[in-house]
Amino acid sequence: MAFIGEAALSAFFDSLFGKFTSSDFNFVTEKRVRKEIMKWETILRTIHAVLADAEERKMKNQAVKIWLADLQDLAYDVDDILDEFASQALRRKLMKEREASTSKAHKFLTSLNSSSIMFNYKMMSKIKEITGRLEDLATRKINLQLENYVGRPMTIPKSKPSTSLVNEDTVRGRDKDKKAIIDLLLRKDGNDAGVSVIPITGMGGIGKTTLAQLVYNDSNIRDHFDLKAWVCVSHEFDVIKITKTILESVTFEPCDITDLNLLQFKLKEKLSRKKFLFVLDDVWTENYNDWMRLRSPFDAGISGSKIIITTRSSNVSSIMRSVADYLLQSLSEDDSLSLLSHHALARGDFTGHPDLKEIGLEIVKKCGGLPLAIKTIGGLLRTRENHDAWKYILMSDIWSIPEEKSDIIPALWLSYYYLPPQLKQCFAYCYLVPKDYEFKEEEIVLLWMAEGFLIGANTKRATKDLGSKYFEELVSRSFFQASRKNQSQFVMHDLINDLAQLVAGEIYFKRERYDDMKAKFLRTYLPFDMMMMRRYGRCYLSSNVLDDLLPRLKCLRVLSLKRYYITKIPSSIGNLKHLRYLDFSYTEIKGLPDSICTLYNLETLLLRFCDGIEKLPMKIGILDNLCHLDITGANSIKEMPSGIGKLTNLQVLSTFIVGQAQYAWEAKLSGKSSLNNLELSWSRNFNENLRNKEVVGEVLTLLQPHEELKALAIKYYAGLTFPIWLEDGSLKNLQFLNLEDCQNCKLLPAIGKLPLLKHLCIKGMRSVISVGIEFHGVNWPNLFPSLETLHFEDMLEWKEWKVCEINKQGKKFCCLRELLLKNCPKLVRTLPNDLHSLEKLVIRNCQELTVSVSNLPMLCEFEIDGCKEVVLESFDDLWSVKKIILSNISKFTCVTKETKKLESAKVVNLQINGCEELTSLWQTKWGWLAPLRSLHSLKFQNCPQVVCIGATDEEEEELLQLELPCNIEYVILVGCQGLERLSKSLQNLTCLTKLNIVRCSKLVSLSVDSLPLTLRTLDISDCENLQCLLDDEENINFSSTSLLESLDIGCCEALKSLSSSGKLPVRCKKLFIYECPVLRFLAQNIGDNACLESISLHNCINIKYLPQGLDKLNHLQEIDFDCCPSLVGFPESGF
């Protein structure tokens, strides 16, 4: 761990050295200034060489630690001086451009030279002070005997070697993952033409190796493959060593051959006409040639041979894989608790130690579902079964655990160690991101750009692209993970966030560690709690911060006052010359001071939803470096300032506001080659008296953007037609297009030949009746060649979609993955044919549309809500589908009866809503659902004619042949007003753990014969005629065999008893009863319910007595009574 702090500081030094060679110093003619700056570079390079040695010794030598701290402060002071020179160079450049063509040019140049001399003179005192400190540090370096690290052997961390052996009793929560990988290994598809490579990816410590071990040792796998081999690859991808290990595994003989050619020839002989499975564990190399050299002999194997690789980086998997990455997720809370109890208490749960469960829950939350972290802490707690010891571990920092007792630190540290230096600095900066905060790529990249981390790019556009590349690298290595709530945003695992804090060291500090002495060196000022501000809206900021503190933060690069309740920005902000990033979004400010136009380094200005701003500063065109201007939601701005056309580096302009037609021409958008994103939005008022269609059309024509534009939105446009520049293919780099509420346009633009268009959304085009050749284009072989997502929404008059025919060599929608049709009530024609790449189909409120599910081989998810008819032509179309939602369908037609094919289908989640003709879920018309063995979740809502869930007596014989889907884990029944019973056939659902029944008014009771013994959670509410929850008189042994742990019953106004026998399921842990006014008692005696932990009764007005046996409930932790006025006492035996 010696190199952690050095890495971030070393990366900062690299950026400094890049600035020394910058052209920004060409104007420095003062020899003394040039000489001093060159001296700085020389001294800093000698100091940089000993950084690693200093970091290694600082923990034992206080003098070295102080030296490093002084060096760190000095490095930032040097950077600020260099930045002042760069700012002065930019100011000179801008002043020259403005004055060069005037008659005062000669006088101006004389003045400019004078100001340069004054600047050099002013800076000289600062430079001398820096030089003195540098020389002092150099002298102290010699006295401290710090050594040059170059040439010395580095201690390279290594991961621990793995084997194929695994103790399955110690593994939790990986059954589904194991099944998914085994399915990939056993399936036969087009990929089996050669060796298929299956990558398992995820962050360090997530359990990739463990999953591979589980699969490798499965009996089905053992019988399926002729040969197997396990290789722990690690960081050095040694082709000879890997080949040798595989050869020894398949021959069961040692091998002393060292020549790669002989090794591969011998291996090829052994693999010939054999089906094999190899596991390459812990692969790090991203060298494609290494992989190609290794795999040469593998082609000798027969079809169906597979290779599993485990890796932390999707970059690694991308050069090797045949199928998509299997991204391994963290453990659930329950599985995490079970894993902790196994390692800490040597048992599967907390039954013997209920007092430790709550602390255990907090511990696993702290570990974030990371198995390695849970096992490490469990090992520390082994045999320590007292509350104080667990509390101590909970309050301790995971990173403070000694390395010899922890695998967490080495596992995560390895991922950081192998990052390139520039990525280490970017990652360390992300320490400022709060835990659980969801962020977008652009948000982080703009901050990195402001801090000067993106060195090496020649233009602003290239700089931002470089930042995106860095971000993607950190995503591919699992430092950032896609949010489960919003796929467009990202999060950091808590332990990765801790790692960022560790590697940042003392270079960055958060507000909670803020002190006034460091204020003048502060470079980033962000809202102190972004999570809280996003959740609760605005926070208040003392006027002292704006008036007193901000003017003193002379070194600020980043300033965000987002969501603070402020109304005015002081003009002193113009003195913060180093500022690159300003964010005033969601504030109440009324305007921007003119002094902002002197911030020549400003790159990002964010004014999202600043409703009080009526205009932007007139001289904003001076800000030559501005590349990102976001005024989304700043609806009071009436027009753009004339100088906006001078912002040649502008890449993102969220909205362009045109007050008068001539301003459209003055904007000169066609000359802004750096502009990436553009939104053109008009007023939402389509009043004929206020909107001149011809003028509006002329304005849009004049707003033609540069051909490099990537994203375009046109909203509330009142013209009759779209401009030629949108149709003639000039926007050849356009990837995102959004046309919204252009209500007067009767025809869509012909955009089918845009070569890079990936995402298209057309919304609110209320005059469009037909979509056809005018949209797709003519004389073009490939229609929408790159389009991935296509959305049509609120097309109220649209009646038909005619996809024009093309020649046999041509293709249409060949890359389309997602199609959405929403609120198109008059659309009658069917969908386009041959959408071979379509993965997601969503159709909502298209009442006249007939949807035919056919020829969609890649379909994974489809949702149909409100259409005339759904036609299922072949079960082959459901082979890849995982999620089905069918709602408010007037007619369902199933053409084929080949239900046997569905046994290999992958449907996991099925929801049926508002199908009024349905009487039984498994009736003949819907019989295709029965063989879906992969089904895990079933939701059945608002189907009032359903009388039975499961097979009725008349259907039993047929369904014995079809079988019910036995893997269902969760069933939800909502609003099925005709439901009278659950069929006994539901007992075949041996994986069902949770049943939720809501608003089923005819349900009187549940027979225990209809409930599977695996059921753990039963949740029933708003069943007005339910009288007895569990009818178990004929099965008195039910309570002794059920796994039911949680009973949640509410708003059942006729409920008289929980069970006809007067008993509760013996394993019940949680009992929650509310709004049951007729219920008089819970049970006769609950002394046998030894597992009961919680009893809650709310608004049960007729309950008078609690059952006997409460004193025998050793695990009871909570009793909660609320509004139970008839309760007169507790049982005689007490608690």
pLDDT at 107 over 60: no
How far apart are alpha carbons 68 and 53 in whole angstroms? 11
Residue of 632, 639, 629, 636 whose CA lies nearest to 672: 629
pLDDT at 807 over 60: no
Non-local (6+) Cβ contacts of 293 within 8 A are 239, 260
**pLDDT tens-digit series, residues 891-936:** 777 666 555 555 656 778 888 888 766 555 545 455 556 567 778 8
pLDDT at 112 over 60: no
Q: For a pLDDT cut of 90, what percent of the chain falls above it?
A: 30
How far apart are alpha carbons 964 and 989 in whole angstroms? 7
Asked whether the beta carbons of 245 and 229 are under 8 A apart, the reply is yes
Q: Give the residue, 422 or 1034, on which the prediction is more confident.
A: 422
Pair type for strands 481-482 and 490-491: antiparallel
Q: Cα dihedral sign for 53, 59, 64, 68? A: positive
How far apart are alpha carbons 95 and 118 in whole angstroms? 16
Q: What is the pLDDT of residue 758?
A: 95
Sheet of 306-311, strands arranged across: 227-234, 276-283, 306-311, 196-201, 326-327
Asked whether the beta carbons of 396 and 381 are under 8 A apart, the reply is no
How far apart are alpha carbons 1058 and 1076 in whole angstroms? 11
How far apart are alpha carbons 224 and 99 in whole angstroms? 80
Asked whether the beta carbons of 671 and 706 are under 8 A apart, the reply is yes
Joined together, the tokens standing for residue 1022 give 């708003």
DSSP state of 489: S
Q: Which of 309-313, 865-869, 986-990 has the highest mean pLDDT?
A: 309-313
Give me the numbers of helices (H) and strands (E) for the chain, helices first please.
29, 43
Q: What is the pLDDT of residue 692?
A: 73
What does the mean pLDDT of the chain come to?
82
CA distances from 614 to 368, 583, 631, 662 (A): 46, 17, 11, 20
Residue of 778, 877, 862 whose CA lies nearest to 821: 862
pLDDT confidence bin for 846, thresholds 50/70/90: very high
Q: What is the distance between the terminal CA atoms of the chain, rounded to a whole angstrom? A: 54
Asked whether the beta carbons of 1053 and 1102 are under 8 A apart, the reply is no
Q: What is the pLDDT of residue 404?
A: 57
Q: Give residue for tokens 């909203």.
A: 715
Non-local (6+) Cβ contacts of 232 within 8 A are 161, 162, 163, 281, 282
CA 298 to chain centroid, in Å, comes to 36
Q: Where are the chain's structural domains?
A: 4-143, 177-327, 333-406, 411-508, 817-896, 1041-1135
How far apart are alpha carbons 772 and 786 in whole angstroms? 19
pLDDT confidence bin for 1040, thresholds 50/70/90: very low
pLDDT at 779 over 80: no
pLDDT at 1134 over 70: no
Asked whether the beta carbons of 943 and 914 are under 8 A apart, the reply is yes
Residue of 821, 818, 921 whose CA lies nearest to 867: 821
pLDDT at 731 over 50: yes
DSSP state of 844: E
Q: Give residue for tokens 């700089």.
A: 463
Residue of 236, 235, 237, 259 whose CA lies nearest to 247: 259
**pLDDT tens-digit series, residues 677-690:** 888 888 777 665 45
How far apart are alpha carbons 884 and 872 in whole angstroms? 13
Greatest alpha-carbon pair distance for the chain in Å reads 108
Pair type for strands 604-606 and 564-565: unpaired
Non-local (6+) Cβ contacts of 202 within 8 A are 208, 312, 327, 328, 329, 478
**Which of 94-103, 287-296, 997-1006 has the weakest average pLDDT?**
94-103
The CATH architecture of the domain made up of 177-327 is 3-Layer(aba) Sandwich (3.40)
What are the start-end ranges of the E strands in 1001-1104? 1005-1007, 1017-1021, 1028-1031, 1046-1050, 1057-1059, 1070-1074, 1094-1098
Buried b (16+ CB within 10 A) or exposed e, 874-910: ebbbbbbbbbbbbbbbeebebeeeebeebeebbbbbb
Q: What is the pLDDT of residue 675?
A: 82
What is the rounded average pLDDT of the residues 92-100? 67
What is the rounded average pLDDT of the residues 983-990? 77
Asked whether the beta carbons of 816 and 784 are under 8 A apart, the reply is yes
Asked whether the beta carbons of 327 and 334 are under 8 A apart, the reply is no
CA 1100 to chain centroid, in Å, comes to 44
How far apart are alpha carbons 1008 and 1016 in whole angstroms? 13
pLDDT confidence bin for 517, thresholds 50/70/90: very low
**Which of 409-423, 682-696, 975-989, 1083-1097 has the weakest average pLDDT?**
682-696
pLDDT at 36 over 60: yes
Three-class secondary structure of residue 595 per DSSP = helix
pLDDT at 508 over 60: no
Q: What is the pLDDT of residue 954?
A: 53
pLDDT confidence bin for 309, thresholds 50/70/90: very high
Joined together, the tokens standing for residue 229 give 């081999």
Joined together, the tokens standing for residue 77 give 């002071």
Question: What's the half-sphere exposure (Cβ side, CA atoms, 13 Å) at 811?
Answer: 12
What does CATH list as the number for 411-508? Answer: 1.10.10.10
Q: What is the dihedral of CA 1048, 1049, 1051, 1053, to 10 degrees?
A: -170
pLDDT at 877 over 70: no
Q: For a pLDDT cut of 70, what percent of the chain falls above it?
A: 82
389 sits in which H/E element: helix 387-395
DSSP state of 1108: B
How far apart are alpha carbons 400 and 391 in whole angstroms? 15
Question: What's the half-sphere exposure (Cβ side, CA atoms, 13 Å) at 30?
Answer: 18
**pLDDT tens-digit series, residues 211-238:** 999 999 998 898 899 999 999 998 889 9
Non-local (6+) Cβ contacts of 252 within 8 A are none
Q: Give the residue, 543 or 434, on which the prediction is more confident.
A: 434
Three-class secondary structure of residue 785 per DSSP = coil
Q: What is the pLDDT of residue 191?
A: 45
pLDDT at 833 over 70: yes
CA 994 to chain centroid, in Å, comes to 28
The answer to whether domain 177-327 and domain 411-508 are alike in fold is no
Asked whether the beta carbons of 920 and 952 are under 8 A apart, the reply is yes
Question: What's the half-sphere exposure (Cβ side, CA atoms, 13 Å) at 997?
Answer: 28
**Which of 726-740, 758-772, 1022-1036 has the weakest average pLDDT?**
1022-1036
Q: Amino acid identity of 534?
A: R
Asked whether the beta carbons of 56 and 2 are under 8 A apart, the reply is yes
pLDDT at 406 over 80: no
Q: What is the pLDDT of residue 214?
A: 95
**CA-angle at 905, arms to 902 and 909, nearest 5°:** 115
Q: Give the residue, 740 or 783, on which the prediction is more confident.
A: 740
Q: What is the pLDDT of residue 407?
A: 66
How far apart are alpha carbons 723 and 745 in whole angstroms? 11
